[in-house]
């Protein structure tokens, strides 16, 4: 055999694996060889012992990934990393849904608690673990009020008092004495009517309410219960003129006229004592 004839190199695989495992570095090296000037994919595949179609696939994946990375100015992410991130996102979404449900339950329980939400918010924010804004938004309270309570700048509420109420109090007292069944809104309407007639400015009904509340002039919200009328289930009496029952009726005639009637019946002999149609 002539000496100038070169024998092609062959690679003999002695292990029993049917498929060869290529590392990432080897794949990059082989694909880079195909990117050289004048390189043929078939020759590069034959030289490295790779199937041409597999090398075509590696090169397409690398070019597609490189194009995306260049256009987005970012690194290429492998499919395995993408799957891991998708699994992580699903897990975080599940945890977020659970935490959202817990927050809704806590809010509903807080609304039903006896203590005020502002007091609870002050106790939580005073620990310093959470921002005041987040505590206020979560519990649904005013952030300015919560901040004022924490810093001690909130002024305590005092009893309602205005110097100008001294001139209005006698007028309200006179109206309440004349109409003891009127509430503060009706008293406000009468008072403003009187003030307008005298050329004065009207007064807000909330102010009238505070004045009447301070001087115990408001109507009672709860009235005394009436005694229950005992009923033994017996309507019939032993003799006449002891118990009577009354009733009425109404019907429309064909002519469109309405006839009404009322009557009184004795509970003893069921005799109609009196009746009056109209």
Q: Is 47 inside a domain boundary?
A: yes
With respect to residue 227, please indicate whether it lies within any of the assigned structural domains.
Answer: no
Q: Write out the residue range of the structural domain in which residue 43 sits.
A: 24-72
pLDDT at 231: 60
My answer on whether 141 and 176 are in the same domain is no
Q: Is position 56 within any domain?
A: yes
pLDDT at residue 97 in the model: 86
User: Which of 72, 107, 138 is the last residue before a domain boundary?
Assistant: 72
Domain boundary among the residues 5, 39, 72 is at 72
Per-residue pLDDT tens listing for the chain (278 residues): 444 444 445 555 555 556 678 887 888 888 888 888 888 888 888 888 888 888 888 888 777 765 454 444 455 666 777 788 889 999 999 888 888 877 776 777 676 665 677 888 888 888 888 888 888 888 788 888 888 888 877 676 666 667 788 889 999 999 999 988 899 999 999 999 999 999 988 999 999 998 998 888 888 776 566 666 666 666 777 888 888 888 888 888 888 888 888 888 888 887 776 666 66
Q: In the chain, which residue ranges form alpha helices assigned H by DSSP?
A: 24-34, 41-48, 52-72, 79-111, 117-126, 132-139, 143-151, 165-178, 184-197, 205-214
105 inside domain = yes
| Phi-psi category of residue 103: left, alpha or beta, with phi > 0 → left and psi -120 to 50 → alpha | alpha
Residues 29 and 58 occupy one common structural domain: yes
In a domain, 220, yes or no: no
pLDDT for 7 equals: 46
Please give the pLDDT value at position 209: 92
110 exposed, middle or buried (CB, 10 Å; 0-12, 13-18, 19+)? middle
Tell me if 118 is assigned to some domain: yes
My answer on whether 43 and 87 are in the same domain is: no
Q: What pTM does this model have?
A: 0.31
Last residue of a domain, one of 99, 116, 151: 151
Is the same domain home to 133 and 185? no
- How far is it, in rounded angstroms, from Cα 208 to Cα 15? 101
Q: How many domains does the chain have?
A: 4
């Amino acid at each position: 055999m002539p000496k100038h004839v070169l024998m092609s190199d062959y690679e003999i695989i002695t292990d029993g694996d049917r498929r060869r495992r290529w590392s990432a570095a080897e794949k990059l090296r082989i694909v880079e060889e195909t990117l050289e000037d004048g390189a043929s994919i078939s020759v590069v595949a034959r030289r490295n012992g790779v199937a041409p179609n597999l090398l075509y696939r590696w090169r397409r994946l690398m070019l597609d990934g490189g194009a995306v990375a260049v256009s987005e100015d970012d690194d290429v992410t492998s499919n395995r990393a993408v799957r891991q991130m998708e699994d992580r996102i699903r897990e975080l979404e599940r945890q977020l849904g659970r935490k959202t449900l817990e927050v809704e339950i806590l809010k509903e329980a807080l609304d039903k608690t006896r203590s005020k939400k502002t007091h609870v918010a002050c106790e939580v924010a005073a620990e310093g673990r959470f921002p005041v804004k987040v505590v206020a938004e979560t519990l649904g309270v005013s952030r300015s009020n919560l901040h004022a309570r924490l810093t001690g700048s909130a002024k305590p509420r005092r009893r309602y008092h205005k110097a100008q109420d001294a001139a209005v109090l006698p007028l309200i007292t006179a109206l309440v004495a004349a109409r003891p069944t009127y509430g503060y809104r009706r008293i406000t309407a009468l008072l403003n009517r009187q003030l307008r007639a005298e050329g004065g400015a009207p007064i807000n009904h909330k102010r009238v309410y505070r004045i009447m509340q301070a001087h115990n002039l408001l109507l009672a919200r709860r009235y005394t219960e009436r005694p229950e009328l005992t009923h033994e289930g017996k309507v019939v009496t032993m003799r006449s003129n002891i118990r009577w029952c009354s009733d009425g009726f109404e019907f429309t005639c064909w002519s469109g006229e309405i006839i009404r009637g009322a009557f009184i019946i004795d509970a003893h002999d069921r005799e109609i004592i009196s009746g009056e149609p109209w």
